[in-house]
Amino acid sequence: MGKLPLPVIVFDKQGVFSQGDFVSGKVKLKLDNEGLQNIKGVWVLITCKAKAEFGTGTATDDHEQEDVHINSILTVFGAGKRAPAKPDLSLPPGNHSFPFKFRLPTDKVLPSPFEGAYGHVRYRAKATLSIERMIFNKESHTERAFTVRGPRVDLNRLPKLNLKVPVSRCCEVRNLFGLGTKKGATVDFGLTKRGFIPGENIIVTGCVDNISGEEQRVIKVALVQETTYTVEEFLVNATEEHKKILCRSSRNISCPKGKVAKFSMNSLRIPIGCPSSGLPGCKLIDVQYYVECNTSGCIETSFRLTVGTVPIRSVSGPVPSVPTAEEATACTQPSAAHPMDKAKMAAPAPACQARPLRNGSVSRVDDAPPSYEQAIASGTTKENFEGL
């Protein structure tokens, strides 16, 4: 016998499932004219593993931990991996299909899939075809990723965070590139809410009050995803942070001395597939989101956001002292939260004061938010065939 055929996995529901669903599909085999003899069995390994790994490269400073959320084997034909083989088990030539079904656990929170700089959360299904041999069995494998929607996080049910309340901040701009003692201008940044779901637009609005500063000013905003990786150790847990700019926008604002100019930045869209704030269900990885704003001569300011799966359906009135997007567009010349309690799926703790970060962005809703299904059903399966 030559090379073994590969057991190909085909998922139902395009490989996208929810907690409590059955992960279901088929394992398909295509056999040539000789068929297949001495089969031990065909099985599928379903796994969900979270991993954090970071360090300096030396053995004493490397940190690694893996949490296994799911690890189950389903036998779809013949005997299982550790079961005795059935004698003279064979398959005739042609196409064969073996269905499988695995119930996702409901007694714990399953995290969303995530890929980061120092860790990940991955859902995998690995199919194995095993042929009996005298000493070592001959096997072939294929592996496919699938997606499990993260837990439901309804932004309307987090009243302590005041996610619907407009927020604004005022920054003083100093002369001499921010080193001078004289105030040249003030810049207000604002957004109408701080709760969003993937697919929503974030728009920074504000105004420049030019006292005696530059008449041409560049406003920069960015949406930042900050991820903290934690490895549990004997005395003190090891942590590593990584910041990723998801999107950014900049705009030249013209404001003569003694005048006030309103502005509205181009929208920043939260990418589809971003997990909820905190990455509920995973203790190794914590994901937070910030909007950061900056202009030359002033300290960066930031707004902490909460990303969930169910959108805020109503928003309070306009941001104080900050124009709406329409007003700002007409007037402009072209030129704070703690990590989410993942185990109990509680809302993030009361918002803390925003802290200076390196990159930033601000927001108001520009269009209707996507539906819950659109926001969380974006995962595409990946295929990685591996013949052994």
pLDDT digits over 278-299, tens only?
A: 999 999 999 999 999 998 777 7
- Percent over 90 (pLDDT), the chain: 62
> Given pLDDT bands bounded at 50, 70 and 90, which one contains residue 369?
low
**Distance between alpha carbon 30 and the CA centroid of its chain, in Å?**
37
Cα distance between residue 124 and residue 70, in whole Å: 10
Check: pTM over 0.85? Answer yes or no.
no
**Which residues in the chain are classed under CATH 2.60.40.640?**
8-149, 155-376
| pLDDT of 146 higher than 90 | yes
- Which fold would CATH assign to domain 8-149? Immunoglobulin-like (2.60.40)
Q: Is 142 helix (H, G, I), strand (E, B) or coil?
A: strand
Residues 46-82: tens digit of each pLDDT: 999 999 999 866 666 789 999 999 999 999 999 988 8
Cα distance between residue 37 and residue 125, in whole Å: 25
Average pLDDT over residues 235-244: 94
Considering the chain, what is the average pLDDT of its residues?
A: 82
Average pLDDT over residues 18-36: 93
Residues 171-208: tens digit of each pLDDT: 888 765 445 556 788 999 999 999 999 999 999 999 99
The CA-based dihedral angle spanning residues 305, 306, 310, 313, taken in that order and rounded to the nearest 10 degrees: -40
Residue 178's pLDDT is 45
Residue 364's pLDDT is 33
In the numeric block, which tokens belong to residue 17? Answer: 């499932």
By the 8 A CB rule, do 89 and 124 touch?
A: no
Cα distance between residue 161 and residue 169, in whole Å: 17
| pLDDT of 321 higher than 50 | no
Residue 213's pLDDT is 79
Residue 354's pLDDT is 34
> Given pLDDT bands bounded at 50, 70 and 90, which one contains residue 373?
low
**HSE-up of residue 20 (Cα within 13 Å, Cβ side):** 4
For residue 262, list its beta bridge partners.
207
Q: Domain 155-376 belongs to what architecture?
A: Sandwich (2.60)
- Percent over 70 (pLDDT), the chain: 77
Q: What is the DSSP string of 28-50?
A: EEEE-TT-B-SEEEEEEEEEEEE
- Angle, vertex CA 140, rays to CA 47 and CA 386, nearest 5: 65
Residue 190: C-alpha distances to residues 164, 187, 204, 348, 366 (Å): 13, 10, 6, 22, 14
Residue 104: C-alpha distances to residues 18, 152, 164, 213 (Å): 8, 15, 34, 60
> Given pLDDT bands bounded at 50, 70 and 90, which one contains residue 212?
confident
Which one has a higher pLDDT value, 274 or 214? Answer: 274
In the numeric block, which tokens belong to residue 42? Answer: 């065909």
In 211-259, DSSP assigns E strands to 216-231, 238-254
Residue 134: C-alpha distances to residues 38, 131, 138, 183, 366 (Å): 11, 10, 10, 85, 67
Give, for 328, the enclosing helix (H) or strand (E).
helix 325-331
Residue 34's pLDDT is 85
Lowest mean pLDDT across 44-53, 139-148, 217-226, 338-347 = 338-347
